[in-house]
Amino acid sequence: MPLVTSEQILKAAQEGGYAIGAFNVENMEMVQAAVEAAEELRAPIMLQTTSSTVRYASVEQFYANAKAMADKASVPVVMHLDHGDSFELAMQALRAGYTSIMIDGSHYSFEENIALTKRVVDAARPNAIPVEAELGKVGGKEDDLEVKDAGYTDPLEAKEFVERTGVDSLAVAIGTAHGFYSGTPKLDIDRLSEIRKVINIPLVLHGASGLSDEDVIECIKRGICKVNFATELRVAFSEGVKSVLAKNPETFDPKAYLKVGRSNVKELVKNRIKVCGCQGKY
Protein backbone atom coordinates (compact mmCIF):
# COMPACT_ATOMS: atom_id res chain seq x y z
CA MET A 1 0.00 0.00 0.00
CA PRO A 2 1.13 3.62 -0.36
CA LEU A 3 3.04 5.19 2.51
CA VAL A 4 0.69 6.37 5.26
CA THR A 5 1.02 9.14 7.84
CA SER A 6 1.81 8.40 11.46
CA GLU A 7 -1.44 9.92 12.72
CA GLN A 8 -3.70 6.96 12.03
CA ILE A 9 -1.44 4.22 13.36
CA LEU A 10 -0.36 6.17 16.46
CA LYS A 11 -3.96 6.90 17.41
CA ALA A 12 -4.83 3.24 16.99
CA ALA A 13 -1.85 2.32 19.18
CA GLN A 14 -2.93 4.80 21.82
CA GLU A 15 -6.46 3.43 21.87
CA GLY A 16 -5.25 -0.18 21.79
CA GLY A 17 -2.63 0.08 24.52
CA TYR A 18 0.36 -0.89 22.37
CA ALA A 19 3.17 1.01 20.65
CA ILE A 20 4.47 1.37 17.12
CA GLY A 21 8.07 0.31 16.54
CA ALA A 22 10.03 3.07 14.80
CA PHE A 23 13.29 1.89 13.25
CA ASN A 24 16.18 3.99 12.01
CA VAL A 25 17.36 2.76 8.61
CA GLU A 26 20.73 3.49 7.02
CA ASN A 27 20.55 1.73 3.66
CA MET A 28 18.37 -0.29 1.31
CA GLU A 29 19.00 -3.54 3.16
CA MET A 30 17.78 -2.13 6.48
CA VAL A 31 14.65 -0.77 4.81
CA GLN A 32 14.01 -4.20 3.30
CA ALA A 33 14.61 -5.95 6.61
CA ALA A 34 12.28 -3.73 8.60
CA VAL A 35 9.37 -3.87 6.16
CA GLU A 36 9.72 -7.63 5.62
CA ALA A 37 9.64 -8.15 9.40
CA ALA A 38 6.51 -6.01 9.70
CA GLU A 39 4.86 -7.85 6.83
CA GLU A 40 5.52 -11.25 8.39
CA LEU A 41 4.12 -10.14 11.75
CA ARG A 42 1.22 -8.13 10.27
CA ALA A 43 2.39 -5.02 12.11
CA PRO A 44 2.33 -1.31 11.27
CA ILE A 45 5.82 0.16 11.15
CA MET A 46 7.68 3.46 11.01
CA LEU A 47 10.96 3.84 9.14
CA GLN A 48 13.18 6.73 10.24
CA THR A 49 16.19 8.66 9.02
CA THR A 50 18.15 11.17 11.07
CA SER A 51 19.62 14.41 9.82
CA SER A 52 23.12 12.90 9.49
CA THR A 53 21.73 9.87 7.61
CA VAL A 54 20.07 12.02 4.97
CA ARG A 55 23.20 14.12 4.66
CA TYR A 56 25.02 10.90 3.79
CA ALA A 57 22.62 10.39 0.89
CA SER A 58 19.46 12.54 0.61
CA VAL A 59 15.84 12.63 1.73
CA GLU A 60 14.82 11.85 -1.85
CA GLN A 61 16.91 8.67 -2.00
CA PHE A 62 15.74 7.34 1.35
CA TYR A 63 12.14 8.22 0.54
CA ALA A 64 12.39 6.31 -2.77
CA ASN A 65 13.66 3.23 -0.92
CA ALA A 66 10.85 3.38 1.61
CA LYS A 67 8.17 4.03 -1.00
CA ALA A 68 9.30 1.08 -3.13
CA MET A 69 8.98 -1.28 -0.17
CA ALA A 70 5.74 0.23 1.10
CA ASP A 71 4.08 -0.06 -2.31
CA LYS A 72 4.58 -3.84 -2.16
CA ALA A 73 3.57 -4.21 1.48
CA SER A 74 0.10 -4.95 2.80
CA VAL A 75 0.77 -3.33 6.20
CA PRO A 76 1.00 0.42 6.92
CA VAL A 77 4.48 1.92 6.49
CA VAL A 78 5.40 5.45 7.56
CA MET A 79 8.49 7.38 6.44
CA HIS A 80 9.57 9.63 9.29
CA LEU A 81 12.26 12.27 9.72
CA ASP A 82 13.90 11.60 13.09
CA HIS A 83 15.52 14.48 15.00
CA GLY A 84 15.13 17.02 12.25
CA ASP A 85 17.58 19.71 13.32
CA SER A 86 16.30 22.68 11.34
CA PHE A 87 13.20 24.12 9.71
CA GLU A 88 14.93 23.81 6.34
CA LEU A 89 15.56 20.07 6.71
CA ALA A 90 12.00 19.51 7.87
CA MET A 91 10.76 21.23 4.71
CA GLN A 92 13.10 19.19 2.51
CA ALA A 93 11.65 15.99 3.97
CA LEU A 94 8.13 17.33 3.57
CA ARG A 95 8.70 18.18 -0.09
CA ALA A 96 10.36 14.81 -0.73
CA GLY A 97 7.23 12.99 0.45
CA TYR A 98 8.00 11.99 4.05
CA THR A 99 4.75 11.16 5.81
CA SER A 100 5.82 12.18 9.32
CA ILE A 101 8.23 14.87 10.50
CA MET A 102 10.11 15.37 13.76
CA ILE A 103 11.54 18.76 14.59
CA ASP A 104 13.89 18.63 17.57
CA GLY A 105 14.22 21.99 19.29
CA SER A 106 14.92 20.46 22.70
CA HIS A 107 18.41 21.97 22.80
CA TYR A 108 16.89 25.46 22.61
CA SER A 109 15.12 27.39 25.32
CA PHE A 110 11.48 26.57 26.04
CA GLU A 111 10.22 29.58 24.07
CA GLU A 112 12.59 28.98 21.17
CA ASN A 113 11.53 25.32 21.02
CA ILE A 114 7.89 26.38 20.89
CA ALA A 115 8.55 28.91 18.12
CA LEU A 116 10.48 26.43 15.94
CA THR A 117 8.02 23.60 16.49
CA LYS A 118 4.99 25.77 15.74
CA ARG A 119 6.63 27.00 12.55
CA VAL A 120 7.06 23.42 11.32
CA VAL A 121 3.54 22.43 12.44
CA ASP A 122 2.05 25.39 10.57
CA ALA A 123 3.97 24.49 7.41
CA ALA A 124 3.09 20.79 7.57
CA ARG A 125 -0.59 21.20 8.45
CA PRO A 126 -1.85 22.10 4.93
CA ASN A 127 -0.30 18.84 3.71
CA ALA A 128 -1.86 16.86 6.59
CA ILE A 129 1.58 15.65 7.68
CA PRO A 130 1.89 15.00 11.44
CA VAL A 131 4.73 16.57 13.42
CA GLU A 132 6.62 15.12 16.41
CA ALA A 133 8.59 17.34 18.78
CA GLU A 134 10.76 16.80 21.85
CA LEU A 135 10.60 18.50 25.23
CA GLY A 136 13.26 17.83 27.82
CA LYS A 137 16.62 16.48 26.71
CA VAL A 138 17.23 12.80 26.05
CA GLY A 139 20.90 12.24 26.84
CA GLY A 140 23.58 10.27 25.03
CA LYS A 141 24.88 10.39 21.46
CA GLU A 142 23.31 9.36 18.18
CA ASP A 143 24.86 10.45 14.88
CA ASP A 144 25.64 14.17 15.22
CA LEU A 145 23.26 14.52 18.16
CA GLU A 146 25.04 14.58 21.52
CA VAL A 147 23.44 15.70 24.76
CA LYS A 148 25.64 15.79 27.85
CA ASP A 149 23.25 17.59 30.18
CA ALA A 150 20.04 15.61 29.92
CA GLY A 151 16.90 17.13 31.42
CA TYR A 152 13.59 15.55 32.36
CA THR A 153 10.31 16.65 30.82
CA ASP A 154 8.17 18.74 33.14
CA PRO A 155 4.49 17.67 32.88
CA LEU A 156 3.08 21.20 33.14
CA GLU A 157 5.55 22.54 30.59
CA ALA A 158 4.60 19.63 28.33
CA LYS A 159 0.92 20.57 28.57
CA GLU A 160 1.67 24.20 27.69
CA PHE A 161 4.01 23.15 24.88
CA VAL A 162 1.39 20.94 23.22
CA GLU A 163 -1.33 23.59 23.55
CA ARG A 164 0.80 26.35 22.06
CA THR A 165 2.36 24.37 19.19
CA GLY A 166 -0.45 22.05 18.10
CA VAL A 167 2.12 19.27 17.72
CA ASP A 168 0.78 15.77 16.96
CA SER A 169 3.11 13.65 19.15
CA LEU A 170 5.69 14.40 21.80
CA ALA A 171 9.00 12.71 22.68
CA VAL A 172 9.57 12.95 26.42
CA ALA A 173 12.68 12.66 28.57
CA ILE A 174 12.30 10.27 31.51
CA GLY A 175 15.88 9.04 31.88
CA THR A 176 16.51 7.27 28.58
CA ALA A 177 19.57 7.99 26.44
CA HIS A 178 20.55 7.69 22.81
CA GLY A 179 23.07 4.97 22.02
CA PHE A 180 23.88 2.17 24.44
CA TYR A 181 23.88 2.68 28.20
CA SER A 182 27.11 2.63 30.21
CA GLY A 183 25.18 1.44 33.27
CA THR A 184 21.69 0.41 34.26
CA PRO A 185 19.27 3.19 33.23
CA LYS A 186 17.05 4.61 35.95
CA LEU A 187 13.76 5.62 34.40
CA ASP A 188 11.34 8.03 36.04
CA ILE A 189 8.27 5.98 35.19
CA ASP A 190 6.02 8.00 37.51
CA ARG A 191 6.93 11.16 35.61
CA LEU A 192 5.67 9.47 32.44
CA SER A 193 2.33 8.78 34.14
CA GLU A 194 2.07 12.43 35.22
CA ILE A 195 2.73 13.61 31.66
CA ARG A 196 0.09 11.20 30.35
CA LYS A 197 -2.49 12.70 32.71
CA VAL A 198 -2.22 16.18 31.20
CA ILE A 199 -1.52 15.34 27.53
CA ASN A 200 -3.80 13.41 25.20
CA ILE A 201 -1.56 13.16 22.12
CA PRO A 202 0.69 10.13 21.50
CA LEU A 203 3.89 10.05 23.57
CA VAL A 204 7.21 8.87 22.14
CA LEU A 205 10.12 7.05 23.80
CA HIS A 206 13.57 7.77 22.40
CA GLY A 207 16.70 5.90 23.39
CA ALA A 208 15.17 2.42 23.64
CA SER A 209 18.27 0.55 22.42
CA GLY A 210 19.68 -1.12 25.51
CA LEU A 211 16.54 -0.86 27.63
CA SER A 212 15.15 -4.12 28.99
CA ASP A 213 12.00 -5.50 27.42
CA GLU A 214 10.31 -5.05 30.80
CA ASP A 215 11.16 -1.34 30.87
CA VAL A 216 9.80 -0.79 27.38
CA ILE A 217 6.60 -2.69 28.17
CA GLU A 218 6.08 -0.71 31.37
CA CYS A 219 6.55 2.57 29.48
CA ILE A 220 3.92 1.47 26.97
CA LYS A 221 1.53 0.69 29.83
CA ARG A 222 2.12 4.23 31.10
CA GLY A 223 1.21 5.84 27.77
CA ILE A 224 4.07 5.51 25.26
CA CYS A 225 2.68 4.94 21.74
CA LYS A 226 5.91 4.99 19.69
CA VAL A 227 9.28 3.49 20.55
CA ASN A 228 12.47 4.41 18.67
CA PHE A 229 15.18 1.83 17.94
CA ALA A 230 18.43 2.86 16.26
CA THR A 231 21.82 1.91 17.69
CA GLU A 232 21.10 -1.78 18.17
CA LEU A 233 20.00 -2.09 14.54
CA ARG A 234 23.31 -0.66 13.38
CA VAL A 235 25.19 -3.09 15.60
CA ALA A 236 23.17 -6.06 14.33
CA PHE A 237 23.79 -5.09 10.71
CA SER A 238 27.50 -4.49 11.23
CA GLU A 239 28.00 -7.73 13.11
CA GLY A 240 26.43 -9.64 10.22
CA VAL A 241 28.78 -8.02 7.72
CA LYS A 242 31.83 -8.58 9.91
CA SER A 243 30.98 -12.23 10.49
CA VAL A 244 31.11 -12.96 6.76
CA LEU A 245 34.38 -11.09 6.25
CA ALA A 246 35.93 -12.75 9.29
CA LYS A 247 35.22 -16.20 7.85
CA ASN A 248 36.23 -15.29 4.33
CA PRO A 249 38.28 -12.07 4.05
CA GLU A 250 38.50 -12.54 0.30
CA THR A 251 34.78 -12.00 -0.16
CA PHE A 252 34.29 -9.28 -2.77
CA ASP A 253 30.59 -9.48 -3.64
CA PRO A 254 28.76 -6.98 -1.41
CA LYS A 255 25.58 -9.05 -1.63
CA ALA A 256 27.30 -11.89 0.21
CA TYR A 257 27.76 -9.89 3.39
CA LEU A 258 24.96 -7.34 3.08
CA LYS A 259 22.31 -10.07 3.05
CA VAL A 260 23.62 -11.39 6.38
CA GLY A 261 23.42 -7.92 7.88
CA ARG A 262 19.90 -7.64 6.49
CA SER A 263 18.91 -10.96 8.05
CA ASN A 264 20.24 -9.86 11.46
CA VAL A 265 18.26 -6.62 11.33
CA LYS A 266 15.08 -8.42 10.28
CA GLU A 267 15.21 -10.77 13.26
CA LEU A 268 15.89 -7.89 15.63
CA VAL A 269 13.01 -5.84 14.22
CA LYS A 270 10.66 -8.81 14.63
CA ASN A 271 11.71 -9.07 18.26
CA ARG A 272 11.13 -5.37 18.90
CA ILE A 273 7.75 -5.43 17.18
CA LYS A 274 6.67 -8.15 19.59
CA VAL A 275 7.95 -6.14 22.57
CA CYS A 276 5.89 -3.17 21.38
CA GLY A 277 2.83 -5.41 21.10
CA CYS A 278 1.89 -4.26 17.61
CA GLN A 279 2.07 -7.64 15.87
CA GLY A 280 -1.14 -8.86 14.31
CA LYS A 281 -2.73 -5.42 14.19
CA TYR A 282 -3.18 -5.46 10.38
- Phi and psi, residue 145, nearest 5°: -85, 120
Do 178 and 231 form a contact (C-beta atoms < 8 A)? yes
- Phi and psi, residue 20, nearest 5°: -95, 130
Do 11 and 202 form a contact (C-beta atoms < 8 A)? yes
**Exposure b/e, 23-52, CB count within 10 A at least 16 = b:** bbbbbbbbbbbbbbbbbebebbbbbbbbbe
Query: H/E element holding 179?
Result: none
Active-site residues, by number, are: 82
- Phi and psi, residue 34, nearest 5°: -65, -45
d(CA 247, CA 282) in angstroms, rounded, equals 40
